[in-house]
Amino acid sequence: MQGLFVLILAWLMFSPLTFSQEIYQWMDEKGTVHFTDDLSLVPERYRNQVQKKKPPKEPSPYPSPQVLKEEEMEKEHESASERKDLIGRGEEWWRAKAKEWNEKLLNAQKNYETAYADYKKKGKELEQSKFKSKSFQRKLKTEIKVLEGKAKEWEKQRDEAKNMLEKGLPKEAEELKADPDWITIEK
């Protein structure tokens, strides 16, 4: 009976040590992976490729508060530069594309307004030139046509940029699984 007690006591004392021991892993010439906790059991020719590993801890069915906190922090701190769309483009690329289209929109709008104002001004000038020569009136009409064409061209570019910002980029981002926040314009 005393022998059994000593054996159980020894087992209890030394069992924590087995959990802190290392496990040795190696692969033989057939590709079979082997594990042991005794380095002397690894054949001599495989000892140079042995990988040391710590045995896994007993898994808990419930994650510890520290693990939960770390996972939460990892998610929060996941850098946008690490996230990518399906073809590997990240936030920086999408923001640059949105900025480019926004600048095109602003430029086209400004140029449209200028061309349209000049067109209207020439129209008033033509109305006031009833008593001027026909050649002067023809010249004004030609200038008006040119300004009208410019205004229409800028309007077309403005509408294209607006459409791209409102529909094109969001659709492309959705198809490529990019974060929709990446294409919002920061003002």
Q: Mind listing the pLDDT tens digit for each residue in 101-143?
A: 999 999 999 999 999 999 999 999 999 988 899 999 999 999 9
Q: Name, of 1-10, 56-65, 164-173, the range with top average pLDDT.
A: 164-173
How far apart are alpha carbons 181 and 66 in whole angstroms?
Answer: 30
Q: How many domains does the chain have?
A: 2
Lowest mean pLDDT among 74-88, 112-126, 171-185: 74-88
How far apart are alpha carbons 24 and 97 in whole angstroms?
Answer: 52
More confident residue, 79 or 152: 152
**pTM as predicted:** 0.54
Same domain for 110 and 43: no
Residue 67 within a domain: no
Parent domain of 135: 91-183
Residue 1 within a domain: no
Same domain for 157 and 109: yes
Instruction: Give the ranges where 38-133 is alpha helix by DSSP (H).
Output: 65-76, 91-127
Residue 13 within a domain: no
